[in-house]
Amino acid sequence: MIKFTNVFKAFPKGGLALKDVTFHIAKGEFVFLTGHSGAGKSTVLKLVYADEPVTSGEVRVSGFNVAELRPRDVPMLRRRLGIVFQDFRLLEDRTAEENVAFALEVTGARRSSIAARVMRVLTQVGLAAKAQAYPRELSGGEQQRVAIARALVNEPSVLLADEPTGNLDERATRGVFQLLRDINASGTAVVMATHDLDLVRQAPYRVIELQEGALVYDSTVDEPRDQAATP
Amino acid sequence: MNLTIREALLAFRRAPLLSALSVTTIAFSLFVVGLFGLVAVNLQDALRGVAERVEIVAYLLPGTPIESITLAEKDIEAFPEVHSAVYVSEDSALARARAELVEFRDVLQELERNPLPASIEVKLKPRFRDAEHVNDVAERLRGFGFVDDVRFGRDWVEKLDRLRQIAAAVGLVVGAAFAVVAIIIIGTTIRMAVLQRSREIAIMRLVGATNGFIRRPFLLQGAIKGMLGGLVAVGLSYGAYTLINRWLIQAAFFSHLQALAIVGFGTLIGFFGSAASVGRHLRRV
């Protein structure tokens, strides 16, 4: 599904953002990507959705060889992924429904099918009743649910979430995390970058830890260690 | 396709102020070009009117037989530069003088002998009405034995020539300068529209929109803004023309084709300005 082999990523101004990173994430897995700020969590995700070029090594994502992807194939890769950010990235001048529909429209989906698919994912994230609300009328947790609905509407095989709970209070965090678990339970792989260790300890999922660009711990390979993800 | 149209039109509703600003900027830029165009059109009209009066008159020796004159008239009309050659007899010259010079009617009435010579009046085709060709034709007319004298306003034709050259050169330079300024200003406004929506563009790319998909509404929107700007510019020019006509001088306005060209020019600038701005933006992010 996602396979990094000896991946290096250089910063534009010199230095390495990732050093020799190798891991494999299987279909339907839930993986926490942990580490300090600047450890390279976001960089890993950016390489997956081809937002940054790979410096060396091989990155494979659902059949795409990302390092050798032509620019015009990047959109095709992204349609197979769902991406969620800490800052939601919703369009302020569109309703929840329109924000979700937008992701389908850009892929050229048939208009007749859009409304039904949008309602289905909004129901899945528990926001069907607020379909007509604008982002400013929604709480942080609700906005993140809209963003998750947008990520899901194309039925991706992987959901990438970069600190999805970073801007949320505890209650909203629990809700969003539960939603991600439900999504994973229905078969979608989830890669969640986070530094919220309480969250990591709550669930029995695989943990990959980065430190200064190097992969220092992978719970499927290494001995379980309680202090693995020290802050 | 309807999505492209919808998104393009939505942008006007979402950012009415910026859209209005773009249209206004395009309109005023093109209005300046248009005003200059009006001056050029009118100057050209005026010069053409003056040029039409370029005429060569060959005065004939008294007593030239009419047969020779008729023959010569045919010859002259066959010159490639010549539009028409008309024989004016002594009598008709006098009649014309009587009609035109009302103040001297009494004097002309009392004449015992007609002092006016017969002549052939030669008009050249429009593209030959310059000093070189006028001189050339005049020289050939002198070659006819029965031609006494050939007259044309030599200095005057040469001045007209200079005036035409200057008008063309100034027109080209100033017109091009205005057009370049218009293109730069319009490009900047469109760039603002693109930057204003850069967040939206970034999100579109994240969810898998192709560059073509992102670009299309901008191109359409740019073309529409350019077209509206062009229409407003023609409207403003018409207003200026009306004022000038009422208070200053009789002037001419653009032909339909010229007005259409301004609107078309605006549309093209809007389209290509958007293409350049969006293209640059998409390459950079």
- Radius of gyration from C-alpha coordinates of chain A: 17
Residue B86 confidence class, pLDDT cut points 50, 70, 90: confident
Alpha helices in chain A (DSSP H): 41-48, 74-79, 96-105, 111-124, 140-152, 170-185, 197-202
Provide the shortest C-alpha distance from residue B171 to chain A (in Å): 45
Half-sphere exposure of A33 (CA within 13 A, CB side): 28
**Chain A contact for B257 (CB, 8 A cutoff):** no
Residue A229 confidence class, pLDDT cut points 50, 70, 90: very low
Query: How far, in Å, CA of A90 to CA of A96, rounded?
Result: 8
Residue A117 predicted with pLDDT over 90: yes
Overall number of domains in chain A: 2
- Backbone φ and ψ for A74, nearest 5 degrees, come out as -55, -45
Among partner residues A72, A75, A105, which is closest to B3 by beta-carbon distance?
Answer: A105
Q: Do A89 and B200 touch (CB under 8 A)?
A: no
Q: Is-contact B190 B277, C-beta < 8 A?
A: yes
Residue B216 in any domain: the answer is: yes
ipTM: 0.85
Q: Which two tokens stand for residue B36?
A: 């200059």
Residue A149 confidence class, pLDDT cut points 50, 70, 90: very high
pLDDT given at position B39: 79
Query: How far, in Å, CA of A128 to CA of A122, rounded?
Result: 5
Residue B195 in any domain: the answer is: yes
Residue A228 in any domain: the answer is: yes
The answer to whether residues B43 and B171 belong to one domain is yes
Query: How far, in Å, CA of A35 to CA of A103, rounded?
Result: 30
**Chain A contact for B207 (CB, 8 A cutoff):** yes
Domain around B63? 55-151
Residue A142 confidence class, pLDDT cut points 50, 70, 90: very high
Average pLDDT for A78-83:
93
pLDDT tens digit sequence for B133-154: 888 888 888 888 888 888 876 6
**Chain A contact for B4 (CB, 8 A cutoff):** no
Mapped onto helix, strand or coil, the DSSP state of residue B148 is strand
Residue B282 predicted with pLDDT over 90: no
Among partner residues A89, A93, A106, which is closest to B208 by beta-carbon distance?
Answer: A106
Residue B156 in any domain: the answer is: no
pLDDT given at position A18: 94
Query: How far, in Å, CA of A153 to CA of A127, rounded?
Result: 14
Residue A200 sits in a domain whose CATH number is 3.40.50.300
CA-to-CA separations, B125 to B19, B33, B45, B77, B134, in angstroms, rounded: 50, 31, 16, 11, 11
The answer to whether residues B278 and B167 belong to one domain is yes
pTM of the model: 0.70
Provide the shortest C-alpha distance from residue A203 to chain B (in Å): 29
CA-based nearest residue in chain A for residue B217: A106
Domain around A139? 93-155
Last residue of a domain, one of B151, B179, B214: B151
pLDDT given at position A226: 56
Residues of A in contact with B6 (CB under 8 A): none
Overall number of domains in chain B: 2
CA-to-CA separations, B146 to A167, A193, B72, B114, B153, in angstroms, rounded: 106, 107, 10, 19, 22
CB neighbour list of residue A21: distance below 8 Å, 6 or more residues apart: A4, A6, A7, A8, A40, A44, A57, A210, A213, A214, A215
